[in-house]
Chains A and B, each alone.
Chain A
């Protein structure tokens, strides 16, 4: 121990006590103070991380929604125009722009002032572009932005033609997670009940390591399993013409298997923490083992079980590699689980695995999807924490 002893020479010769006085003053410890600052900063890095995630995702998503897309109107000029012609004769095909729209021919942007059949009046050289001569047969491009409504309700996602509706991706994610939960919740809960109520110590010592191994296998391996085992099995069972090579069912089942250890371990913790007195009381009243488990213990632990299920949903939604390998190669809005349809996560991985230029709309769209994913999983995690806090029954 380090009491600091400072020998103090005593001026007062009259003092009879000691010749060395112990200085009990608190010694300033700069080193420890510095260490505390380092520790605080380590903890604060987590805040920086969250702020960083939200900021980066937000900034790029903002860029996504404010970027101007030039949509091909399928209209073309029927006659060539000069530098200062403000009346454009256009073909009858395609979509007409509206008053106030911006259109682009070659490199020049123009503002539409009036539109009548096949004639468009424009203001030339809009937005600091240089007016130029344009020959006939050039196509008009119309300025378009991705609106929030289109983002959330559009049913096609084809960046090349400017369609950014996220519903196919969200739909696929929801269906895959649903299939995963249909598998994982019954199996996981049954395993948890079995482990906590019925299993002998020997069985537990075999089963728990197996569950830990299942939980520790990397998701890439599960993806390989889904592609090379699950899909062929499904094709044999349901017929090769009904099940595509990439399908949501195989991925969903394997994600379910992935998530079973999560549900079973958290539920088993919750079930085990129900005190024995409750069980013994109900045995004393004549209940059978099953009735004790299902009618007494499970309701007592329901908050933990619900939290486990919600965490599992959040994990299934965020699952990437299985989705990338086995579920689909492109966005597809379908309710048939045997067809391939990319999930949000699979799409992000596929696009960012290829060549990606930093200022393209594809890059920004990834962050918009990522932001949505982040909020969904964050929301689910917060709900699960609140459920535990509010409905947890604390005994003794």
Chain B
């Protein structure tokens, strides 16, 4: 809008009008700056979040080895260049007899590969201990100060650059030491729980949506109650679902969810209801309203002309739904379901209440195992006071965000691929 400058002629009202116009435009521009600043706040918040996580996931660490690797030389060969025989010799010389017997009992030393022997040496002989870790930005920009500080406080420690997010991190099970901890148990638990959740929630959710949209008489009071009920349930905090799961699935249905009713008994395991099955059922209840509402929207979007045409040719109601409405509504339903699943993936509070284990190192084997999930792992690591746990929590967050990103990307792909409308 360009300012119109007009020679002041005519009535005084006209004179009053135009100076005010300037003022009004200036006010408009000022508020526009405010709106744009607010938008920047959103972008800044997201960047700060990502910056913080990446900052913690990589950096310099001061590691103290109980035994200096440089002292482990045989005939002048440093440890990096030793062959298998020499590595075995190093192991035999440097660990106690009892530990050696224990290791030999599990697998004879000669059957280990080179990397396996190396890891034994690192674990048992060198025994590294993280004394302190620094963030990425510090590691890059204040390197010298860190060197000074590290040599002053930890004279025996070495400084190395470490990425806390390694392939080991993803494949190792949980450990109480931050250096060796991995998220494998957590990822397996998450995936197993999500699988069972989908199997339960998808048919129920889509079925309920079909009922509400196609078969229910909207004037019948039961159907209206069901509809308002679903809308209300979508807004209930997730922790309430956790308490419901605790009371019903873990306590009330304990024989069912712990597998005792099916004759399932793990040797030596305490069978209670805090299993993968309870967690999945709780999550299924949690995302059910979201799936129903999304599916309802998708079914509503199918034009009624399709249905009328089908009825006109003599199809029954279910045949119309199954053969015409559902295939056309399916892309929208899939998108909504995938988004609901990505929400369930990141849920922590209900699973903590239902009873995720605090420390398990074995993979979950089935619906009746104890479990832990990736978000819960992040929660537990973040809550610990030691600094190194923040680092691996950051690495775990990166894993979680990558998984969620791929889920959401697949939702967008599905939406785009099937959005060619054929009506």
User: Which residues in A have some Cβ–Cβ distance to B below 8 Å?
Assistant: 1-3, 29, 32, 35-36, 38-40, 42-47, 49-50, 52-53, 56-57, 60, 186-187, 190-191, 193-194, 198, 207, 210-211, 213-214, 216-225, 227-229, 257, 260-261, 264, 288-291, 294, 311, 314-315, 317-321, 324-325, 345, 348-349, 352-353, 358, 366-367, 370, 373-374, 377-378, 380-382, 385
29 A-B pairs with CB atoms under 8 Å apart are A2-B314, A2-B315, A29-B316, A32-B317, A42-B211, A43-B292, A46-B229, A46-B233, A46-B289, A47-B225, A49-B244, A56-B247, A187-B42, A190-B37, A207-B42, A211-B42, A217-B404, A221-B378, A221-B397, A221-B401, A260-B42, A314-B235, A315-B235, A318-B238, A348-B353, A373-B240, A374-B240, A377-B235, A378-B236
Apart from A220-B375, A352-B353: 5 A-B pairs, beta carbons within 8 A: A43-B208, A220-B378, A228-B382, A314-B235, A325-B382
Q: How far is the CA of A45 from the CA of B382 in the complex (A)?
A: 36
B236 and A377: CB pair below 8 A? yes
Interface residue stretch chosen among B47-55, B68-76, B160-168, B261-269: B47-55
Whether A214 contacts B35 in the complex (CB less than 8 A), given A29-B316, A288-B28, A377-B235, comes out as no
A contact residues around B210 at 8 Å (CB):
39
Q: How far is the CA of A187 from the CA of B34 in the complex (A)?
A: 9
Annotate B364-397 by CB proximity to A: 1 below 8 A, 0 otherwise: 0000000000010011001100000010011001
Write the chain A residue with the least CB distance to B235.
A381
A257 and B243: CB pair below 8 A? no
Residues of B220-264 at the interface with A, using a CB-CB cut-off of 8 Å, are 225-226, 228-233, 235-244, 246-248, 251
* B28, B34, B358 — most chain A CB neighbours (10 Å): B28
B35 and A190: CB pair below 8 A? yes
Q: How far is the CA of A261 from the CA of B42 in the complex (A)?
A: 9
Q: How far is the CA of A234 from the CA of B350 in the complex (A)?
A: 30
B348 and A224: CB pair below 8 A? no
A45 and B49: CB pair below 8 A? no
B177 at the interface (CB under 8 A from A): no
B contact residues around A47 at 8 Å (CB):
225-226, 229
Q: How far is the CA of A50 from the CA of B226 in the complex (A)?
A: 10
B402 at the interface (CB under 8 A from A): no
Which one, B34, B237, B285, B378, contacts A345 given CB within 8 A?
A: B237
B346 and A218: CB pair below 8 A? yes
Q: How far is the CA of A47 from the CA of B292 in the complex (A)?
A: 13
Number of interface residues of B (CB under 8 A): 90
B contact residues around A40 at 8 Å (CB):
211, 215
A contact residues around B228 at 8 Å (CB):
385
B contact residues around A2 at 8 Å (CB):
314-315, 319
What's the least CB distance linking A320 to chain B, in Å? Answer: 4
Q: How far is the CA of A194 from the CA of B41 in the complex (A)?
A: 13
B contact residues around A44 at 8 Å (CB):
226
A42 and B352: CB pair below 8 A? no
A36 and B318: CB pair below 8 A? yes
Write the chain A residue with the least CB distance to B52.
A229
Q: How far is the CA of A163 from the CA of B232 in the complex (A)?
A: 33
B46 and A214: CB pair below 8 A? yes
Annotate B314-349 by CB proximity to A: 1 below 8 A, 0 otherwise: 111111000000000000000000000011011111
Q: How far is the CA of A53 from the CA of B229 in the complex (A)?
A: 12
What's the least CB distance linking B225 to chain A, in Å? Answer: 7
* A46, A198, A214, A320 — most chain B CB neighbours (10 Å): A46
Whether A49 contacts B379 in the complex (CB less than 8 A), given A288-B24, A345-B349, comes out as no
A contact residues around B49 at 8 Å (CB):
217, 221-222, 225, 229
Q: How far is the CA of A218 from the CA of B403 in the complex (A)?
A: 12
Chain A facing B: main interface SS: helix
B225 and A52: CB pair below 8 A? no
B contact residues around A229 at 8 Å (CB):
48-49, 52
Q: How far is the CA of A210 from the CA of B45 in the complex (A)?
A: 11
What's the least CB distance linking A162 to chain B, in Å? Answer: 23
B contact residues around A52 at 8 Å (CB):
244, 248
B196 at the interface (CB under 8 A from A): no
Q: How far is the CA of A104 from the CA of B205 in the complex (A)?
A: 54
B contact residues around A221 at 8 Å (CB):
49, 53, 346, 378, 397, 400-401
A49 and B285: CB pair below 8 A? yes
Write the chain B residue with the least CB distance to A190.
B38
A-B pairs with lowest CB-CB distance, top 4: A318-B237, A218-B346, A190-B38, A42-B207
Which one, A45, A53, A345, contacts B208 given CB within 8 A?
A: A45
B204 at the interface (CB under 8 A from A): yes
What's the least CB distance linking B230 to chain A, in Å? Answer: 5
B394 and A46: CB pair below 8 A? no
A290 and B31: CB pair below 8 A? yes
A257 and B45: CB pair below 8 A? yes
A contact residues around B394 at 8 Å (CB):
224
Q: How far is the CA of A56 from the CA of B216 in the complex (A)?
A: 29
B contact residues around A60 at 8 Å (CB):
247
Whether A352 contacts B36 in the complex (CB less than 8 A), given A29-B316, A39-B207, A187-B41, comes out as no
Whether A191 contacts B39 in the complex (CB less than 8 A), given A218-B347, A220-B378, A358-B251, comes out as yes
Q: How far is the CA of A35 from the CA of B52 in the complex (A)?
A: 52
A228 and B239: CB pair below 8 A? no
A contact residues around B400 at 8 Å (CB):
218, 220-221
Write the chain B residue with the least CB distance to A320.
B349
Whether A291 contacts B24 in the complex (CB less than 8 A), given A42-B211, A220-B379, comes out as yes
A contact residues around B383 at 8 Å (CB):
324-325
What's the least CB distance linking A9 to chain B, in Å? Answer: 24
B243 and A57: CB pair below 8 A? yes
What's the least CB distance linking B195 to chain A, in Å? Answer: 19
Write the chain B residue with the least CB distance to A353.
B352
A contact residues around B242 at 8 Å (CB):
352
A contact residues around B243 at 8 Å (CB):
56-57, 348, 352, 366-367, 370
B185 at the interface (CB under 8 A from A): no
B240 and A227: CB pair below 8 A? no
A43 and B211: CB pair below 8 A? yes
A289 and B28: CB pair below 8 A? yes
A contact residues around B34 at 8 Å (CB):
190
Whether A42 contacts B347 in the complex (CB less than 8 A), given A50-B232, A194-B38, comes out as no
Write the chain B residue with the least CB distance to A314.
B235
A contact residues around B36 at 8 Å (CB):
194
A contact residues around B347 at 8 Å (CB):
218
Which one, A36, A190, A261, A377, contacts B237 given CB within 8 A?
A: A377
B contact residues around A352 at 8 Å (CB):
242-243, 246, 352-353, 355
Whether A320 contacts B211 in the complex (CB less than 8 A), given A57-B243, A194-B36, A352-B353, comes out as no
Q: How far is the CA of A345 from the CA of B349 in the complex (A)?
A: 9
Annotate B13-39 by CB proximity to A: 1 below 8 A, 0 otherwise: 000000000001101100110111111
B46 and A220: CB pair below 8 A? no
Which one, B207, B232, B358, contacts A43 given CB within 8 A?
A: B207
Q: How far is the CA of A311 from the CA of B25 in the complex (A)?
A: 34
Residues of B303-321 at the interface with A, using a CB-CB cut-off of 8 Å, are 313-319
B contact residues around A198 at 8 Å (CB):
32, 35
What's the least CB distance linking A34 to chain B, in Å? Answer: 10
What's the least CB distance linking A204 to chain B, in Å? Answer: 11
B53 and A224: CB pair below 8 A? yes
